[in-house]
Structure 1
């Protein structure tokens, strides 16, 4: 009997002849770009450096599109945005030492959010490796060690013949559930030397599937079918596995309310009768989740933000489905099912029993949302609600948005209707500043026919202003909304609450409109009353734009104690 894995594809005579006589003038860098092309890559992000020049020279001679940014960390964020929108592994070219290390925060965000990024870095020449300190520029004692605790996997090529297999292996790792950033390292002299390795043709980098164990889904189906008060928490894994329709089918069959995490925005229709929306920071919703006798958690690790800063204390049984084995039962005991969300939901739909139809669950959802709205409406936060509503009004339904760590984003996590899956993205995975604008640029590269919105505060915006040059150079349709409150707004609130008086949070900042215009990017200063109109006009205009809203927003209080 012949098995598929026993089959060996035999080269044709023409392929053999081509392999025996590869074109002259190719280098190790060419092997990198040939492998990427063979795997299906079309676009590379990055920033050149001395040791990486052979890689960029090969890129110059290839058919891959190159989008260069001004800071390596921003290049990483752009690759992250591209990977989230396309679901493809986004190649990121980096140089040795400082260039590579500068991208670490972006790779941390990609790891926390399961965004597929394929970082390929140069390294000092081979004679400087293995503990030898030869004094090469940018030399680190152990460069790969700096990345092992951040990325999903590390892959090293030390010879040219290893390059195609190493990159294909890294590609597969980045795109196998759970998605994530991976690290490839190749020495400068390996990249620069002429090669006799044949031209790379169709490397195998197919990601592997992660189906659930049937005995576990059988138990989960029984628990859900017999539950009196089932509730579903839908995380980012539902969005990444394109499982939103499966989620809706299961929720309707079980008559189970659904809350989406901040990473799972859009995974469930916002105005569905069973939708608890995303009010995970409100104690009313936390109480409701605690009352569930079976809580199905799909594609979420139940981390700090998803558990109302770890105040969530479930009284019922938890069934947790996650592709990341390390997140199963990391925070709460559960029936842990290690699987891709789509495959697991499909298995549950095949076996779960349909609940009796009544209005009980929908009525309970309405009650919880009414109590949340009454609390918010009683806090005198009309400005904040109007600003968020203006953003939703101006943003086309299918347009993606990227949000930095700023007060308006905290509002959006709970109160913004993303409209559709995979349209709202934020830096809540790792929580670093400066994410929104460069990530939005990556999304615009992925789909230049759609406008993209980036939202930052003035503090976060200063991390990314250099990329206005990138936006202009590539004419990318990104509108950047900067809420200018003169400081690190959310830290100002945190410090004020914890210590009575904030320190180090007030900032001198530029005239953002004039700064944008100095890059050749149109800028508009708006008001809360004219925001919807000004933002819609900017999003409709071709190319990049900046809209600045001077406003000092406040956070809502979400505990049982009424804010004063």
Structure 2
């Protein structure tokens, strides 16, 4: 009878230890990822560290989880993966992180040093130039080829990810460097100072003059406001100017939904586009006025634009403007100090003092009176009433009922993560997140499968409150394996799967364009039974019982699944209207 001696505990340190020590010294406490052969040096070192590891089943999903964690915490989310296929599987998630400015530090392994740069070939997972695959997606690419380079490379990647505009970065380290024993002292004093991006004072003064002189100032707030944590500065400036505020889909939560000056997020409505076009000075902050924010590039401004944008590539990319290359929070704070204060704001559409003008009168009064009493608030009421009338005339009661049920079931302050599905498209325009930085979606790059793994990342950031994920059945099929992750870590995520039998939005697009749909219908599993097989409680609901069933699932500890069979429609594409 043979006996096996226990493997002695390692007493020496390796390059992998330098990685986890560096991450810890920079402030990381949670990492996401998936192990692989070349990356085992890092994963072995994790057990000797205080870092919490959240392991997902697919690298792309690990990237989505890291993305949401970075958004939720306004910090860096490390993502640990292996070489070749494992590394490449993160690219869709990193594209979303780039589009959404999420600070993901993707750290992958490489083949041994001898195989890099045209040396010895034939290694498992080998790519001719692995880092080249990432250069068109991430902010920066970093490499450490010796153990002594690891702390500095990690710090440089961290600093790049967290410098505004935030974004994903790629760092790779060869397998043998990660496994090699090191005599370098433990990393304790590592420091990374993200680059600040303050506005130029002469541009702030010029922008303040334009806004102060405007008779019809309007603000369009994008995701840059949320990423900068600039909600209070935006509110202060809007109230000082008495300027109506619309938020982009990525900027939801940047401004209070029910505020008297809130135009909400109806950017795919021609009434809203007309309102923005009619501003004599439009302040665009934290948005590049891209396809969705410009109503599919139909936006034609008639006044001046002042644009605050941290991403230099988006500054004046689509419209000429007085451009301030700056962090949204710093620029808004500077403007608040510069501009004068107008008369106090009115009470809005449901205000008690005074009556709201009749529809059509409000906008005219604003045009005639400029900053006259209550005129901007009345113009906001008028616009929202016209949007509501248009939606109500399209017989979309089911869709509005479902979105209202989700809102009623979701506790205030709870985070929701939305996949690319029809109910999410409704949420972009019509859902009130009731908190800043509480709604995350994949509308930046638009890849399927974001909702559930992103919700797992958001729950890892704050396990004390429930998180809602919303997917269609097509998007859900990308993430089913992560039910095991939710169960393994007991994360409080409720997954609402709207099952319409296929790719619902593509079905609509193809039917509208060609008269019939092709390749959109899907064979699906019994989602509730499948969830139960993973040990995750599940319920099959109906539109009439959605609010009750969803509220119960969100209130229960741990993960859960709610399946809603329903076929939904989008509201009409108003960017085509005259």
Normalising by the smaller structure, the TM-score range is: over 0.9
Computed over aligned residues only, the root mean square deviation of the Cα atoms, in angstroms, reads 1.2
Aligned with 2:557 (options 537, 542, 546) = 542
Aligned residue for 2:5? Answer: none
Q: Distance in 2 between matches of 1:94 and 1:443?
A: 20
Q: Distance in 1 between matches of 2:129 and 2:323?
A: 36
C-alpha displacement of 1:132:
2.8
Aligned residue for 1:447? Answer: 462
- Maintained 8 Å contact 2:298/2:575: no
Aligned residue for 1:388? Answer: 403
Q: Distance in 2 between matches of 1:254 and 1:107?
A: 38
C-alpha displacement of 1:133:
5.0
Aligned residue for 1:523? Answer: 538
Q: Distance in 2 between matches of 1:505 and 1:63?
A: 46
Does residue 1:349 correspond to 2:333, yes or no?
no
C-alpha displacement of 1:285:
0.4
Aligned residue for 1:400? Answer: 415
Aligned residue for 1:7? Answer: none
Give 1:261-280 correspondences, 5 Å limit: 261-280=248-267
Aligned with 1:70 (options 46, 52, 57) = 57
Does residue 1:28 correspond to 2:15, yes or no?
yes
Does residue 1:199 correspond to 2:186, yes or no?
yes
Aligned residue for 1:502? Answer: 517
- Maintained 8 Å contact 2:295/2:575: no
Q: Distance in 2 between matches of 1:50 and 1:523?
A: 36
Aligned with 2:387 (options 372, 380, 388) = 372
Give 1:422-441 correspondences, 5 Å limit: 422-441=437-456
Aligned residue for 2:483? Answer: 468
When residues 97 and 80 of structure 1 are mapped into structure 2, their CA distance, relative to the original with a 3 A threshold, is same
Give 1:103-142 correspondences, 5 Å limit: 103-132=90-119, 134-142=121-129
Secondary structure of residue in 2 paired with 1:305:
coil
C-alpha displacement of 1:558:
4.1
Give 1:100-249 correspondences, 5 Å limit: 100-132=87-119, 134-249=121-236
C-alpha displacement of 1:197:
1.4
- Maintained 8 Å contact 1:133/1:141: no
Does residue 1:459 correspond to 2:438, yes or no?
no
Does residue 1:288 correspond to 2:275, yes or no?
yes
Q: Distance in 2 between matches of 1:471 and 1:401?
A: 16
Aligned residue for 1:4? Answer: none
Aligned residue for 2:78? Answer: 91
Secondary structure of residue in 1 paired with 2:436:
coil
Q: Distance in 2 between matches of 1:474 and 1:121?
A: 23
Secondary structure of residue in 1 paired with 2:456:
helix
- Maintained 8 Å contact 2:56/2:62: yes
C-alpha displacement of 1:267:
0.7
- Maintained 8 Å contact 1:404/1:434: yes
C-alpha displacement of 1:355:
2.6
- Maintained 8 Å contact 2:33/2:54: yes
- Maintained 8 Å contact 2:270/2:577: no
Q: Distance in 1 between matches of 2:112 and 2:514?
A: 51
| Structure 1, unaligned runs of 5 or more | 1-22
Q: Which moved more, 1:551-560 or 1:76-85?
A: 551-560
Q: Which 4+ runs in 1 deviate beyond 6 A?
A: 560-563
Give 1:246-325 correspondences, 5 Å limit: 246-325=233-312
Q: Distance in 1 between matches of 2:108 and 2:524?
A: 34
Aligned residue for 1:414? Answer: 429
Aligned with 2:314 (options 327, 335, 338) = 327
Q: Distance in 1 between matches of 2:248 and 2:78?
A: 28
Q: Distance in 2 between matches of 1:559 and 1:404?
A: 23
Secondary structure of residue in 2 paired with 1:91:
strand
Aligned residue for 2:27? Answer: 40
Aligned with 2:374 (options 332, 355, 359) = 359
Secondary structure of residue in 1 paired with 2:171:
strand
Q: Distance in 2 between matches of 1:272 and 1:447?
A: 28
Secondary structure of residue in 2 paired with 1:44:
strand
Aligned residue for 2:362? Answer: none
Q: Distance in 1 between matches of 2:128 and 2:79?
A: 23
Aligned residue for 2:326? Answer: 339
C-alpha displacement of 1:562:
8.4
Q: Distance in 1 between matches of 2:193 and 2:408?
A: 41
Aligned residue for 2:6? Answer: none
C-alpha displacement of 1:356:
4.2
- Maintained 8 Å contact 1:241/1:341: yes
C-alpha displacement of 1:551:
0.2
Q: Distance in 1 between matches of 2:31 and 2:551?
A: 30
- Maintained 8 Å contact 2:33/2:59: yes
Secondary structure of residue in 1 paired with 2:306:
strand
Compute the TM-score of the two structures, normalised by the length of structure 1.
0.95
C-alpha displacement of 1:62:
1.3
Q: Distance in 2 between matches of 1:562 and 1:386?
A: 26
